[in-house]
Amino acid sequence: MATYDYDLFVIGAGSGGVRAARLAAMSGASVAVAEEHRVGGTCVIRGCVPKKLMVYASEFAHHFKIAQSYGWTVGERSFDWRAFIEEKDAEIARLSGIYVTNLSNAGAVLMHGKARLTDAHTVQVEGHGTITADRVLVATGGRPWAPDAVPGIEHAISSNEAFHLPELPRRIVIAGGGYIAVEFAGIFAGLGVETTLVHRGPNVLRGFDDHVRAHVAEEMEKRGIQVILGCRHESLEKTASGVVSTFADGHKVESDLVMFAVGRKPYVEGLGLEAAGVALTELGAVKVDDYSRTNVDNIWAVGDVTDRLNLTPVAIREGAAFAETEFYGRPTRFDHEMVASAVFSQPPIGAVGMTEADARHALGRVDIYLARFRPMKYAFAGGDERCLIKLVVEAASQRVVGCHVVGPDAPEIIQMAAVALKMGVTKQQWDSTCAVHPTLAEELVTLREKYMPSELGGIG
């Protein structure tokens, strides 16, 4: 039998790679991990964590606005972008350090450098030479994508750079309608930047429930974000006073900064997957089965590079399932059904299960429960902000198959709703749960009337 330097070589120390490496090493296997950038990956370094800190920073503006209604006198206000970025970077360094320590405590060897497969069992790591391994896990994540065909695209930044701007722009144009574009629009607008969101689709947040999409776009505009739909960049031009975006309909917007957040792609460049014989999907993701195994017997892939459900907890669970299967003798597949997700827009979204459109398509008859109301906190302050809650129920079985919440704490609420939906809760069981008062979440268990499309003007 061939002998190798390691039992497992993991390429990429992000959410999926680190979890798999740690669990495998804790089983007694010899494990090495290569990381070309910083340990922690997208989530910790330039994704979920710094983004959430930026959301927190930007939310203060809204709190200041309503503070007076609650009896507060808020004095002189100013925001120091550089000071905040410094604090944020210190926190990210601390978290990245914890990941490094955890890997080392588990007994995994960390190698800094880009890794490239030269065959199914051999990896070359910059600065570390050639290493062989019995099994290889590809966990290289994804990268922002921008349309090279747009003239002047080099003047635009991606979300990667948004975390390290030397200063806050006065005006920004954000291209894209996905959750990253929507979240950054909320962040910049909250921090006082004149923000325009341009999206080529008919509404933001494709894949989310249509009521949620319409509601969020409306709420974003209430917060001062200019949302332009059905429009895309034709070109970008740098001028003495900023960057001019020219759109397909001919109109132009000048800003100080343009950010493209129009999609992400699996990061497979320079990985040597061809040399190892690893097959990709048509969209360029590593093709895997339910156990995250590629077409090559000893190579697996988890996380965003497989482009299944591109979320941190999913990458972590896929990595854990791989380790369970291969190093603990317990064949485990991660179930991608009923995974809750959040969008940290302002107001934020929590969603789990099917949209109304998906449910109608897959299940036929569905009952819809929907409410839109002013949350107590903002109603008191005379604000016009509204929450939205929606349940999608399969008519025949009365199973709740979708739950959608827009409003303060929606991401926190949806985590617990996901437990019930994952367990197959029926509407009757859902309703038998007593409310917690006074909360936004209580409205979820007091939805009695079925929704008829004419009831909610504007978003029916």
Catalytic residues: 437
DSSP for 293-359, written as a single string: B-SSTTEEE-GGGG-SS--HHHHHHHHHHHHHHHHSS-------TT--EEE--SS-EEEEE--HHHH
Q: The tokens of 121 are what?
A: 């069992």
3-class DSSP state of 46: helix
Shortest distance in whole angstroms from residue 269 CB to ligand FAD? 8
Shortest distance in whole angstroms from residue 454 CB to ligand FAD? 36
Q: Which residues contact ligand FAD (rule: CB under 6 A)? A: 11-17, 34-37, 41-43, 47-48, 51, 114-115, 139-141, 159, 180, 267, 271, 303-305, 310-313, 315
Shortest distance in whole angstroms from residue 65 CB to ligand FAD? 25
Shortest distance in whole angstroms from residue 112 CB to ligand FAD? 9
Question: What residues contact residue 200 under an 8 Å CB cut-off, 6+ apart?
Answer: 177, 230, 231, 232, 248
DSSP 200: S
The rounded distance, in Å, linking the Cα atoms of 302 and 300 is 7
Query: Which CB, 171 or 265, lies closer to ligand FAD?
Result: 265
What is the H or E stretch that residue 138 is in?
Answer: strand 129-138
Query: Which CB, 11 or 371, lies closer to ligand FAD?
Result: 11
Shortest distance in whole angstroms from residue 42 CB to ligand FAD? 3
Dihedral (C-alpha) 428, 429, 432, 435: value to the nearest 10 degrees? -110
Query: Which CB, 415 or 439, lies closer to ligand FAD?
Result: 415
User: What ranges in 223-311 are assigned the alpha helix state H?
Assistant: 273-276
What is the H or E stretch that residue 243 is in?
Answer: strand 242-247
